[in-house]
Chains A and B, each alone.
Chain A
Amino acid sequence: DPDTKTEVVLLACGSFNPITNMHLRLFELAKDYFHETGKYKVIKGIISPVGDAYKKKGLISANHRVTMAKLATKNSDWVEVDDWESCQSEWLETVKVLRYHHQKLLSADVTNSLQDDVPITKLGRKRRQEPNRHEPIKKKNQSPVVKSVPQVKLLCGSDMLESFGVPNLWKLEDITEIVEKHGLVCISRAGNNVQKFIYESDILWRHKNNIHLVEEWITNDISSTKIRRALRRGQSIRYLVPEVVRAYIERNGLYSAESEASNAGLLLAPLQKHASDPRSSQ
């Protein structure tokens, strides 16, 4: 019954420098996973490229990265690109991007529902219910359309999950909010250390029901780093990225030894921010 399934939006944050077939696969794998549970319906996928203020080495302008992602998703009927994050002048914590999209979803949902009977959980307020509960909120009065609150879940690879352990990269309260209020969908290769990593973290363990682990049955190691390396060496990247993205890169002469040197020596924005924030210690 489609009306009692929890609607899910998958949000992927990252550099997308450039976007590859592997990034796009994450969405497909996550969608299949949720549908197979029979309890969720994935209604949208959002790619949110990070802003230039992230200061990662080799990061090229957000304009190009957003354009390439848009080209890559042109023929997708459910994955789209959102450039809100990339337009911000300062780097934004991932949790803020999640909140933004969650709020956006709720506003749209309220506008769409026949009756204003969906309780909007105010962000920041503690929930009375169990933190990892995600059953649809049923109403007493039998309205014809009983919809649950759509959820925005952070879609990522095991590297992002494991980056939670990098000192000063994430605020503990942010990690908590991500897994408690939103949820994580983590795609990883078989035999990966993800489960061990979750086990070793009290916070992640507590909310493990809201951390969905999806196994990637086809080894797909098409990292953006390797794509950029191949381009610098004049090697082909065909069939690793969508053809339109490859053509765009070629046309615009993106990615060279010079572009790879950008931001060299600079501290990554989250590390810079946390270094100056006394509350950053876990």
Chain B
Amino acid sequence: MRSRIPVILLACGSFNPTTNMHMRLFELARDHLHQTGRYQVIEGIMSPVSDSYGKQGLVSARHRVAMASLALETSDWIRVDPWESQQDTWTETVKVLRHHYNEALRTFQSKELTRNKHPMETSTGDSLSCQQPVLPELKLLCGADFLQTFKTPNLWKEEDIKEIVGKFGLVCISRAGSDPSQLIQESDLLSKFQHNIFLVREWIQNEVSATQIRSALRRGLSVKYLIPDSVIAYIAQHNVYTAESERSNQGRLLQPLRL
């Protein structure tokens, strides 16, 4: 029996704030990969972008990481990683992927070292433990709109796209009504790597956009049951989102477009 390939899912984004929809993406992706029978999702990583991204309305990374952390309290497999948010300058997505892949590799290799020092007795006859351990794969988790951005001129370097879909892979969640497979067919590059692009349909629509959340908060409207209670409490306690915070970075060009 062939053992499953361990997979780590990485989601990059503003997470401004983290919503129930962000966390749903992970759950949907994991279910999908498990149902192929070929993968075992071992970890989910949420990587909030650094403040230098320059997006309008982006509040400090300190808050965004804290809120993600609160949101993920009840999850036993997804965690927030502040590495990207702690970098001085904005980091290309492909670099974030490389960083986390290297980290995963490091963990994997140290585990292997430990295993080889203490070989296990396979008394249960479990065929898996006799086999060569499988190298984990790191895949980028995203929405269909992300796939769409590959078309935006000057936003992506072609070699980066190649590395993202070729070396790593994408798990792309799309809404019930839309079908991103056409997007893939229209691109030679994406078509070439379509075996490494997993399209997942979200049949239970739950389009909680962070922008709408922030808008509701400014108007004093309820966002309960759209984002976790712990995040609502944090936002209230620290007065995170205001009319002023929404104006930050106004008129400024997004960092990736400046390169």
**A residues at B contact (CB < 8 Å):** 21-22, 24-25, 28-29, 31-32, 75, 217-223, 226-227, 230, 234-236, 238-240, 242-243
Contacts and interface: CB of A to CB of B under 8 A. Distances in A.
Contact of B229 (A22, A75, A235): A75
Interface residues of B, number: 25
Contact of B207 (A28, A29, A219, A227): A219
A21 B204 contact: no
Contacts of A242: 225
Given A24-B225, A218-B212, A238 B203 contact: no
Interface stretch (B20-28, B58-66, B155-163, B179-187): B20-28
Contact of A221 (B205, B209, B221, B229): B205
Contacts of B28: 236
B30 A31 contact: no
B27 A239 contact: yes
Given A28-B222, A217-B212, A222 B27 contact: no
Interface of B: 20-21, 23-24, 27-28, 30-31, 74-75, 176, 203-209, 212, 221-222, 224-226, 229
A219 B176 CA distance: 12
Given A25-B225, A75-B229, 20 more contacts: A22-B225, A24-B224, A218-B208, A218-B212, A219-B205, A219-B207, A220-B205, A221-B206, A223-B204, A226-B204, A230-B204, A235-B31, A236-B28, A238-B24, A239-B20, A239-B21, A240-B24, A240-B204, A240-B206, A242-B225
Contacts, number: 64
Q: Which 10 pairs from chain A and chain B are nearest by CB?
A: A221-B205, A236-B27, A28-B222, A239-B20, A21-B225, A24-B225, A219-B207, A239-B23, A235-B31, A226-B204
A31 B222 contact: yes
Contacts of B31: 234-236
A226 B203 CA distance: 8
B163 to A, nearest CB: 30
Residue of A218, A227, A239, A243 most packed against chain B (CB within 10 A)? A239
A160 to B, nearest CB: 19
A236 B74 CA distance: 14
B222 A243 contact: no
Contacts of B203: 226
Contacts of A22: 225
B33 to A, nearest CB: 12
A68 to B, nearest CB: 15
Nearest to A227: B204
Contacts of A238: 23-24, 27, 75
A218 B215 CA distance: 12
A230 B31 CA distance: 10
A218 B30 contact: no
Given A235-B31, A240-B204, A218 B226 contact: yes
